[in-house]
Amino acid sequence: MKKQFFGTDGIRGCVGEHPITVDFVLKLGWAAGKVFAKSSRGRNLILVGKDTRVSGYMFESALEAGIIAAGVDVGLLGPMPTPAIAYLSRTFRAQAGIVISASHNAYQDNGIKFFGSDGYKLPDEIELEIESYLQQNIVTCGSNELGRASRIRDAAGRYIEFCKGTLPTGFSFAGLKVVVDCANGATYHVAPDVFRELGAEVIEVGTEPDGLNINDQCGSTSPELLRQKVLETDADIGIALDGDGDRVLFIDANGDIVDGDELLYVIAMFRRENDLPCAGVAGTLMSNFGLEKALAELNIPFARAKVGDRYVIEMMKKNQWELGGENSGHIVCGDITTTGDGVVAALQVVRAMIEGGKSLAELCHNYHKLPQTMINVTVKGAIDIDSNGDVKKAILSAEKKLAGNGRVLLRPSGTEPVIRVMVEGDDAALVGELVQQIADTVSEQVA
């Protein structure tokens, strides 16, 4: 069977447009409750958390009602980072954790994503089983079998302690000045406290969510505000999280952006130099070739998975590697967490800085990023970019001009209605010219 609703990262779309509607999410909660209850050996419990977008209240209530109707208890976490919900699903021995979030998207979007009892995203067969229940009518349990709802009030404190516990006992950030940008999202009441309790001087940005300002000119997708704050306050680093806290980017003391590829390199290098677990690194098709070259110099194996942290994690499991991630800032430390965790990844980078006695810029010195440009082309319908003659011709022409010193990649987004066009090469001017030519060709084909 082919999945109808689940994409690479749950179900996502514009609020009020199918399937991101109240009636669908109500039924989704019921369907999930029926599926997960079957695997229970005792108490049936599903945790539900959300980010800060205004529609989260509505969908939280809808999920709660659907899950209860299926005879399953609900633990309401309130606003919590996506990785926190993965962690808490394990510690509460819940059947599942559900996240109401559209991650880095604007407030007009929302989505639903799931974690199993092991803290990992669901396998295809479970998603398909949930979809099969969506084809049925809701049948409410008898009153004596209905689930119950409770609010878990210490969720944030539990996650803060977990994050701090990923560092050696007694490890201190004293003397470090850090700007933390929470994108007015789910980490607003978590991330600043983690760094502050570890001893750092913390300057907060994007910690005043109002339901509409999530990811709005702040966070990992818009780091300019953070860059200005780092330079203005003479901070050592700036840390930019996204709306649900599973991505992270840095700004170094010079005001330069340090992306996910560079952060992966820093963590991998620190681990290799300190005999910590780092058997290999899983990247994606979008990972910069500079990462591959830099890791090769450290004799660290590298392989590319399809774009999406679930595919990165699959490759990590397959190769028994501890580290993987994406240039967008999804970083998975597999010996610590089960999913991309912006706060945990940031802590590993800061640890490398402090133990190495180097600035972030110094740690990145041997990493040489190839110029890479990506253009998102909006599409209204499906387009087979692999068989479109004009698109193939444009790609071949670009590859010929790159002469083996770069690469071209086109792929449909798993979370947005766009085709991502990426060109990478030694010559930045040529890269910019070629990516625009291909993007124009794709745009003409979908007009």
Q: What is the DSSP string of 280-330?
A: -EEEETTS-HHHHHHHHHTT--EEEEPSSHHHHHHHHHHHT-SEEE-TTSB
* pLDDT at 447 (0 to 100): 65
Catalytic-role residue among 103, 117, 220, 328: 103
Between CA 394 and CA 249 the distance in angstroms is 32
- Residue (of 265, 228, 243, 284) closest to 349 by Cα position: 265
Contact 305, 87 (CB under 8 A): no
pLDDT surpasses 90 at 373: yes
pLDDT surpasses 80 at 166: yes
Buried/exposed code over 99-130 (b: 16+ C-beta within 10 A; e: otherwise):
bbbbbbbebbbbbbbbbbbebbbbeeebbbbb
Between CA 282 and CA 333 the distance in angstroms is 11
* pLDDT at 42 (0 to 100): 62
Percent of the chain with pLDDT over 70: 98
- For the ranges 70-84, 129-143, 194-208, 374-388, the lowest mean pLDDT is seen at 374-388
pLDDT surpasses 90 at 172: yes
pLDDT surpasses 90 at 381: no
**Three-state secondary-structure class, residue 170:** coil
**Averaged over 278-301, what is the pLDDT?**
94
Amino acid at 205: V
**101 carries an active-site annotation:** no
* pLDDT at 121 (0 to 100): 95
pLDDT surpasses 70 at 383: no
Between CA 272 and CA 280 the distance in angstroms is 10
User: Taking the model in full, what pTM does it have?
Assistant: 0.91
Contact 193, 182 (CB under 8 A): no
Between CA 355 and CA 366 the distance in angstroms is 18
Domains and CATH numbers, the chain: 11-153 (3.40.120.10), 159-363 (3.40.120.10), 372-446 (3.30.310.50)
- For the ranges 3-12, 152-161, 357-366, the lowest mean pLDDT is seen at 3-12
CA dihedral over 28, 33, 34, 36, signed as positive or negative: positive
Q: Quick: pLDDT tens for 89-125.
A: 999 999 999 999 999 999 999 999 999 999 999 999 9
**Averaged over 298-311, what is the pLDDT?**
94
